[in-house]
Amino acid sequence: MANTWLTFFFTVGKFLTITPPYNTKVSRSQTVCTFVVVTLQVPLMICSAIARELNTLHIYAKVVVALLVDSLLLTFSCHTALSVVLWKKTQWQKLTGNLKIIASNAENTKKIVHHVKISFVRLVTDLTILIVVYSFWVEVFSFSYYAQRYNAHYFDYYLVYTFNIFLSLILNVVLIQYRYLNDVLQKEISSEIVVTNKLSKLLGEVESSLFFLKDTVDLINDIFGWPLALTISYTTLYILNNFDFIFQNSLIPDDEIAFKILADTTLVLLTFIGTSVVIARCDLILREAETMLTKSYVLRRHTKMLSAQEKEVLTHFSDVILQNFPRFSAARFFNIDRSTILSILATVVTFLIIMIQFESSNV
């Protein structure tokens, strides 16, 4: 059941060129489509950036930020699409295989299906919001003017949103398995009578699952490391760029100023929330691993009547958890946990103040 839903969901990712099929290898047709999409994206994005910057007066700091945002967006969309059909094909096959194993666990099925349904709702919601915002700006500026400057951007915006949704779902599947293992350990801790043979077998099974999950996390880091680094960088600069734009718009009297601010704020929130959800899921997995380590210590205290050899097994189990502790990184530039969200906000505030000071000095 869960694998059926995941198959359907990955079909959407295949259509958007950000994931391979769930049950089959990357086909030649998908490879060709990916190259066509990337080939079209590059000139369209470059033309949009040139058209926008040549017809708008900005201070140099703003021009640099805007060009960096466009560069990160284009690099992200091209890298993510090409990695699926070129240099990450083997890793994707291993990852989907691991997801199938987790989804095959009857204890996980209902939870995974629930998260897939939520992900579908997010896909539709984000697309609807993008269409509404795009329609609003077209009415404000006219279709020809706005399409010339931002048409390519909206496709890439949706790719970023979709990427965050897919990665969140994959992380949720891994998180569900960690929680399942913690539930198994909690049942053992809660039991009044510890059966030695049963405990040894249980710990062996949990250790095997930990090795499996560590391999899965390593695959996630391998596949999504660079896209994550690009997404987090893009999110930071996009928020900075749009907040400055919102601030400037608020100073200009306009009958539609409230709607303009609402449209920009909506896209900022979509971008920030999507990236923050991914970061939060990574942090939740880390927390589950920490909880598992704590439970292993509790289990050692709970089983005082065991022999020295049996206690050694429990000590080894704690060591296995430490050695296979999950770590998420953005292409090894920095580790990802909930402090990353604060880093994004701190960077935005700092550079926003600098940009406002630049503008004040040019008045």
- What local confidence, expressed as pLDDT, does residue 194 receive? 55
Contact 112, 173 (CB under 8 A): yes
pTM for the whole thing?
0.92
**What is the C-alpha to C-alpha distance for residues 76 and 220, in angstroms, rounded to an integer?**
16
Percent of the chain with pLDDT over 90: 43
Residues facing 335 on adjacent strands? 329
Distance of CA 101 to CAs 3, 97, 212, 283, Å?
9, 7, 10, 23
In this predicted model, what pLDDT tens digit does every residue of 250-265 receive, in sequence order?
667 677 788 888 888 9
Tokens 């801790």 found at:
189
Residue type, 270: L
Cα distance from N-terminal residue to C-terminal residue, the chain: 62
CB atoms within 10 A of CB 115: 21
Contact 346, 338 (CB under 8 A): no
196-250 vs 143-190: helix axis angle to the nearest 10?
A: 150
- CA 135 and chain centroid, separation: 27
| pLDDT confidence bin for 307, thresholds 50/70/90 | low
Secondary structure of 129-146 as H, E, C letters: HHHHHHHHHHHHHCHHHH
Distance of CA 173 to CAs 121, 143, 281, 348, Å?
17, 42, 10, 31
**What is the C-alpha to C-alpha distance for residues 295 and 186, in angstroms, rounded to an integer?**
7
In this predicted model, what pLDDT tens digit does every residue of 90-127 receive, in sequence order?
999 999 999 999 999 888 899 999 999 999 999 999 99
